[in-house]
């Protein structure tokens, strides 16, 4: 009898304990930090969320702001003004107290311990994707995430840039990969190995042998080389 009672206790305990999940979690928006970062209340705790796959201009002074200015040739004040516009656009999509759904990918947090997530709005739109589609940020695809989302983000960025939507009509800088060549389809991308810092072209014999956990995607050889990667010696 005692054994049966114990088993019944364990059975119910599995439903009561909060288990980590990669399914969508409901959360409440606390504030918009900047164009690609929000703060939410999740499971009773405040969490900063870095939106996966989108990079908006820097609103605050930071090392990244300095790097972006050096890369694009824009002055920092211009970039920060664009950052304010991107932040205002994100605030127009989601306000304090709104309920959102948080979807995770393979890596739950970044090096700053911010959650990495896709955020779904109450109207069914994905916040990350909407920012890119409306031209208020670049598709950040250097770090791999869900391939179907990645392809959607790239397509949205290309269309927004061609149509001059959002910040593209106000001086949003073209990312380094797009300067080298138009945004490519997934079949044409260059695959880097973050462990060896070797990159492979689709025609290379080891292209499909790179471990998923080590994959870093590039849209041109120039981008891979700028990131410190070398071409595989067995590539044709």
Full set of structural domains in the chain with CATH = 15-173 (2.40.50.90), 175-236 (3.40.10.10)
pLDDT confidence of residue 2: 46
| pLDDT at residue 68, as a whole number | 85
Give the Cα-Cα-Cα angle 94, 109, 167 (nearest 5 degrees): 40
Which residues, 6 or more positions from 85, have their beta carbon under 8 angstroms from its beta carbon? 57, 136, 167, 170
Residue 188 confidence (pLDDT): 46
What's this model's pTM, rounded to 2 decimal places? 0.67
Predicted pLDDT of residue 209: 84
pLDDT along the chain (236 residues), means of 10: 45 37 80 97 96 95 88 88 96 97 92 94 97 96 88 93 91 55 45 88 83 76 80 86
């Amino acid at each position: 009898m005692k054994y049966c009672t114990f088993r019944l206790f364990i059975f119910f305990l599995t439903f009561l304990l909060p288990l980590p999940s990669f399914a969508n979690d409901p959360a409440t928006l606390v504030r918009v930090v900047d164009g690609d970062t929000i703060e939410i209340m999740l499971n009773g705790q405040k969490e900063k969320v870095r939106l996966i796959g989108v990079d908006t201009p820097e609103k605050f002074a930071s090392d990244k702001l300095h790097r972006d200015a050096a890369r694009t040739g824009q002055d920092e004040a211009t970039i920060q003004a664009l950052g304010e516009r991107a932040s205002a656009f994100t605030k127009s999509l989601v306000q304090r107290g709104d309920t959102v759904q948080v979807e995770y990918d393979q890596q739950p947090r970044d090096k700053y311990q911010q959650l990495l997530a896709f955020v779904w709005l109450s109207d069914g739109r994905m916040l990350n994707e909407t920012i890119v589609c409306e031209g208020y940020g670049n598709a950040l695809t250097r770090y791999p995430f869900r391939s179907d989302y990645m392809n959607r983000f790239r397509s949205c960025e290309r269309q927004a840039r061609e149509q001059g939507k959002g910040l593209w009509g106000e001086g949003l800088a073209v990312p380094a990969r797009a300067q080298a060549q138009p945004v490519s389809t997934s079949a044409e991308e260059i695959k880097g190995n973050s462990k060896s810092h070797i990159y492979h072209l689709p025609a290379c014999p080891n292209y499909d042998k790179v471990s998923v956990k080590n994959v870093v995607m590039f849209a041109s050889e120039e981008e891979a080389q700028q990131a410190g990667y070398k071409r595989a010696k067995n590539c044709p």
